[in-house]
Structure 1
């Protein structure tokens, strides 16, 4: 039996729709990884994601695919091969995420040494308000 929400989502403005699509820890990471590295197989994507579980990665990918952000291409081969990439809709959100990253970099100063390689593309470090 599939999970069903008790209530429908209560999205009242376009910003809430956008945050639903690309907000959250894993959605934005997947988008950034695919934007930087291009088409990846599941195992390659999982390796780049760090400490994500298979269940969470599969579920998050399913949601991104359903919303038209990520494309899933399956090849009829033995062994089976599946690749993930950003759709045109997914690519269009990358500059927005980069802007959010740059803005957040002005205020988030903690340097844990665990910054994702893909974050370097946003160039959020070294930006200051003057």
Structure 2
């Protein structure tokens, strides 16, 4: 059985999950293409797959509008917004201990939280 820490880390660990959540933390509502344009080197297939878990875990709200062409927006839920301060603390910790090894980008731009 997983403990609460493992549950939490599963939700926002991985290469793309924290980036997606961070992008949405800096906007009210974003369409799929807007999310994709704010994350370097993510493919459509990876973004679509990466959105499934945070949506099903109610971290991200997917809002469909009955329009033509179809309009879908994504935003953080209350549950999703509750982790913003955690990301900020992790970012501050990373600023203190981060070592640039030329294969990493700046941690602040990675998290997109200032």
Q: TM-score, normalised by structure 1?
A: 0.78
2:13 maps to: 23
- Which has the larger displacement, 76-85 or 101-110? 101-110
SS of the residue corresponding to residue 7 of structure 2 reads: helix
SS of the residue corresponding to residue 63 of structure 2 reads: strand
Q: Is residue 92 from structure 1 mapped to residue 82 from structure 2 by the alignment?
A: yes
1:63 maps to: 53
Comparing both chains, which one has the higher relative contact order based on Cα–Cα distances under 8 Å and sequence gaps of 6 or more?
2
1:43 maps to: 33
1:106 maps to: 96
Aligned length, in residue pairs: 111
Question: CA 1:71–1:33 in 2, change beyond 3 Å: closer, same or farther?
Answer: same
Q: TM-score, normalised by structure 2?
A: 0.88
In the alignment, the residues of structure 1 paired with residue 82 and residue 58 of structure 2 have an alpha-carbon distance, to the nearest angstrom, of: 11
2:112 maps to: 119
SS of the residue corresponding to residue 105 of structure 1 reads: helix
1:54 maps to: 44
Q: CA deviation at 1:119?
A: 2.9
- Which structure has the greater CA radius of gyration? 1
SS of the residue corresponding to residue 49 of structure 1 reads: coil
What CA RMSD, in Å, does the superposition of the two structures yield over aligned residues? 1.9
